[in-house]
């Protein structure tokens, strides 16, 4: 089953340092992962603003990704062998 994971580098709630190894682990287990990292610098740290700002591109790309899956198109995994 394909999965879409999005991460903002400026996210101060869900840190990329935790998401990267999770994606690696899922890929190692054979998952079909599309992983997008959005380069968003720190904004009003410790307020969750970096989390919210990173959500905007993730929602746009994520909705398109879902539309493609429901249309029957295969996902393009970012996992390497």
DSSP string, the chain: -EEEEEEETT-SSS-HHHHHHHHHHHHHTT-EEEEEEE-----STTTTHHHHHHHHHHHHHHHHHHHHHHTTPPP------
Q: Is residue 36 part of a domain?
A: yes
Q: Is residue 39 part of a domain?
A: yes
pLDDT tens, 16-30? Answer: 899 999 999 999 999
Give yes or no for residue 44 having a pLDDT over 90: no
Q: Give the global pTM.
A: 0.85
Give yes or no for residue 12 having a pLDDT over 90: no
Name the residue range of residue 26's domain.
2-70
Averaged pLDDT for residues 46-70: 90
Q: How many domains in the chain? A: 1
pLDDT category, 65, cuts 50, 70, 90? very high
**The pLDDT of residue 81:** 60
């Amino acid at each position: 089953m394909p999965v879409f994971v999005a991460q903002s580098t400026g996210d101060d709630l869900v840190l990329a340092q935790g998401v990267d190894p999770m994606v690696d682990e899922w890929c190692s287990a054979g998952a079909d992962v599309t992983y997008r990292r959005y380069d968003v610098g720190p904004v009003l740290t410790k307020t969750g603003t970096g989390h919210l700002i990173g959500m905007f591109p993730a929602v746009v790309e994520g909705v398109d990704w879902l539309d493609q899956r429901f249309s029957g198109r295969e996902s393009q995994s970012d996992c390497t062998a």
